[in-house]
Amino acid sequence: MGLCHIKRLESNDTMETSRDAVAVAKDLNEVGPKSSAQGSRITIVQAIEQVIRERGRALTIIEIHDAIVAQHLYEFKADNPVHIVGSQVRRHCLGLDFPSAAPNKLFKTLGAGKYDVLEAPIRQRERKRRARPQVKAGGSPSLESLRRQHERYIAELRSRILDILKKLTPQQFEHFCRNLLKAYGFKTVTVTRNGRDGGIDGNGQLKVGFDFFDVAFQCKRWGKANVGRPELNQFRGDIQGQSQMGVFFTTSKFTPEAKVNSVRLGAVPITLIDGRTIVDIMLEKSFGVEREDLPIYSLALDMALTE
């Protein structure tokens, strides 16, 4: 049974391996080589906070790690120090809630994998632990309860992915769509320069049989408003005579009128890809997510007792 988790944007902190746990313990129990103004050595969390404040802007996990190393603020003792930094940022990040999260919140996420320092630390109540999966008399979680947990996990993951996509800038979403088309098999996919080509955000080619079709795409990073027929007609008018096919991306949904008019006799066909479909493609192509196969065993001892 495969469980997907977001790559770079958020790690599943509840599934760290024992090796990572040991590394985290070592790095948390030991302090770095550089002393603070009070003369005491600083912790990894203090080093993270210091480099973000010194830069005066939100940073990615890799940028935070590189700055700590460059300034010799902390000496890592783990095989994967970037993972350690990411783990500690998320543990102290406002709005991220998981079993090993710290109640004292120091950071906030601004989307696109960047984190900033809160104006003042926030202390949250420690949450009650969720009930464990249903356990049968034998002491093992039932296979059905694991399936239900997996379904809930995938549903929550889909929702998180879509929320993050909606927080991207228009330019980031255009480049995301370009890379998504590449993952789906489109060739020579490029994003047009801002202000050029009317409503066309990018172009590419799709191989159909022995031929390549010229394809144009448009991206609407919308929240709640649905894309309607007027937006579709405007896009079709922009690509008429230039492309043989159009692809319209949105993080929201399409109205029924837009769906009906996506394919019309004598007009350029337009493929509609809404937020739900974007997430489907990401999971299908392992694009922007990582797939982790966890073996699930069920008892079948009778097979081993046959004569």
Residues 62 and 178 in one domain: no
Question: Mean pLDDT for the chain?
Answer: 80
Residues 50 and 117 in one domain: yes
Tens of pLDDT along 79-111?
788 888 988 998 899 888 777 788 889 999 887
pLDDT-wise least confident of 26-40, 85-99, 187-201, 285-299: 26-40
Residues 109 and 181 in one domain: no
Q: Give the pLDDT mean for 55-81.
A: 89
76-90, 127-141, 211-225: range with highest mean pLDDT: 211-225
Question: What pLDDT is attached to residue 307?
Answer: 56
pLDDT-wise least confident of 96-100, 121-125, 174-178, 226-230: 96-100
DSSP code per residue over 195-253:
T-STT--EEEEEEETTEEEEEEEEEE--SSPPB-HHHHHHHHHHHTTT-SEEEEEESS-
Question: What pLDDT is attached to residue 135?
Answer: 52
Output 146 or 77, whichever has higher pLDDT.
Answer: 146
pLDDT band with cut points at 50, 70 and 90 for residue 162: very high
Question: What pLDDT is attached to residue 178?
Answer: 94
Whether residue 295 is contained in a domain is answered as no
Give the domain CATH number at 225.
3.40.1350.10
Q: Give the percent of the chain with pLDDT over 70.
A: 78
pLDDT band with cut points at 50, 70 and 90 for residue 209: confident
Residues 122 and 175 in one domain: no
Whether residue 251 is contained in a domain is answered as yes
Whether 220 shows a pLDDT value over 90: the answer reads yes
Last residue of a domain, one of 65, 95, 127: 127
Q: Indicate whether this model's pTM tops 0.85.
A: no
Whether 65 shows a pLDDT value over 60: the answer reads yes
Question: What pLDDT is attached to residue 27?
Answer: 46
Question: What pLDDT is attached to residue 122?
Answer: 87
Domain, as residue range, for 284: 170-289
Q: How far apart are CA 147 and CA 125, in angstroms?
A: 31
Phi-psi category of residue 241: left, alpha or beta, with phi > 0 → left and psi -120 to 50 → alpha: left
Residues 207 and 114 in one domain: no
Question: What pLDDT is attached to residue 229?
Answer: 93
Residues 31 and 114 in one domain: yes
Question: What pLDDT is attached to residue 69?
Answer: 93
Whether 303 shows a pLDDT value over 80: the answer reads no
Tens of pLDDT along 164-204?
999 999 999 999 999 999 988 899 999 987 654 457 999 99
Residues 14 and 114 in one domain: yes
pLDDT band with cut points at 50, 70 and 90 for residue 34: low
Tens of pLDDT along 43-58?
889 999 999 999 999 9
Whether residue 262 is contained in a domain is answered as yes
CA distances from 152 to 234, 294, 305 (A): 39, 16, 37
Whether residue 133 is contained in a domain is answered as no
Task: Determine the number of helices (DSSP H) and then strands (DSSP E) in the chain.
Answer: 9, 10
Question: What pLDDT is attached to residue 61?
Answer: 92
b/e map of 35-70 (b: 16 or more CB within 10 Å)?
Answer: eeeeeebbbbbbbbbbbbeeeeebbebebbbebbbe
Total domains in the fold of the chain: 2
pLDDT band with cut points at 50, 70 and 90 for residue 306: low
